[in-house]
Structure 1
Amino acid sequence: MSAVDELLAGARARLAGVPREGLGELLPPRRLLGIRRSPRIVRQGDAWHLGTLLLTDDELLATGDILRARAEVRRGFTAESQRRRAELAAAARRGGFAEGETVHIGWRRLDLDAIGRGAASDPVRIAGGEPQVRWSAKGGWVPLARYLEERVDLLLNPPGGAT
């Protein structure tokens, strides 16, 4: 078992019983009897959200986009990006996510075997024999052990008003 595997196993043990967030996959629209149906986001599992990482029972994922499932409503938008996010939220609702449920899309699997051999699988790498994580796209590298400790503590003891 590699150092990364040990850190992840420890985090999973501490997080047992803590609610998870949904993982979704956007399915393209399909036709039914010649009528084009709306796209939907279907559930692909669930994970604990640890900042730039998503932790499942057996995998480590890099976070993509995060949204909340919402019923589709007609409204005006001042920006095309707002319209796109509303469309994705409605697609998640159509795909079976509950109203207001947090959904992660665009996530990607990290290669834990490669990381264990010393190769990077962004945002995780081994440097100087120590697992590290890049906490943001432009941020620096921090020790994975410290990062997981802080993120797990935040899930176990959310700051006032965060729940």
Structure 2
Amino acid sequence: MDGRPAIAEAQEAVDAAVAELTASGARAEVLAEWRTGRRIGPLRRPDAVAAVGRVWRLGALLLAPDGTLRRTGEVIQAQPLRFDNHQSNRAAVRRELRVAIEKAGIPAGETVNIDAPPVALADVLEVSWNGSGEPGTLVPLPVYLRERVELLAHPPGGA
């Protein structure tokens, strides 16, 4: 079976989504990468977060203004650091991320998407609403994008 018509339809949906989100001034979030520190002789540069652009979060997918789709990676909100004792391992990891985000100069209150891997359009012709990928949860990408873009571009009152 030839997937070219489905890919063309999906590309049209992505292009329409970018146009609608841009025109509506929808809220975009920071896209960042985790960069592992490297050794330079006896010294080691610390791990760091680097902002690489902005994206719109559409549930399971992120959409960049250039039409690139990414899977949602680690999502964390930049906020001032607190010094909590007796943290779980997960809280300690998130604190390390917040320290790196603060050092990157990302302002408090920004939502940061870290290490969101790009995805080929042909790999997301169907998207699972709940992330399980089980039959019955998959919808065509154009349908998924229309609903998610509508929610982001024109949020319901009180949202």
The alpha-carbon distance between structure 1 residues 80 and 58, as it changes in their structure 2 partners (threshold 3 A), is same
Structure 2 residue aligned with 1:147: 144
- Aligned residue in 2 for 1:58: 67
Deviation of the 1:41 alpha carbon = 0.7
Say whether 1:6 aligns with 2:12.
Answer: yes
The structure richer in helix per residue is: 2
**CA 1:58 to 1:144, structure 2 compared with 1: closer, same or farther past 3 Å?**
closer
1:13-162 aligned within 5 A: 13-16=19-22, 17-30=25-38, 36-56=44-64, 57-112=66-121, 115=122, 121=123, 124-125=124-125, 132-139=126-133, 140-162=137-159
Match of 1:2, SS state, is helix
- For residues 99 and 84 of structure 2, the distance between their equivalents in structure 1, rounded to whole angstroms, comes to 13
SS for the counterpart of 2:50 is strand
Superposed CA offset, 1:16-40 (max 9, x none):
1222101100112356895555422
* Secondary structure class of the residue paired with 1:22: strand
1:52 CA drift (Å):
0.4
What's the secondary structure of 2:146's corresponding residue? Answer: helix
In the TM superposition, residue 69 of structure 1 has moved relative to its aligned partner by 1.7
Q: Deviations over 1:6-64 (max 9, x none)?
A: 00011111101222101100112356895555422101111111000111123111111
Inter-partner Cα distance in structure 1 for 2:147 and 2:73: 20
Q: Counterpart of 2:3?
A: none
- Unmatched runs of 5 consecutive residues or more in structure 2: 1-6
- The count of corresponding residues between Structure 1 and Structure 2 is 147
**Would you say the 8 A contact 1:24–1:104 is kept in 2?**
yes
Q: TM-score, normalised by structure 1?
A: 0.79
Which is bigger in relative contact order (C-alpha 8 A, separation at least 6)?
Answer: 2
Q: Which runs of 5+ in 1 are unaligned?
A: 116-120, 126-131
In structure 2, do the counterparts of structure 1 residues 100 and 90 end up closer, same or farther at CA, with 3 Å as the change threshold?
farther
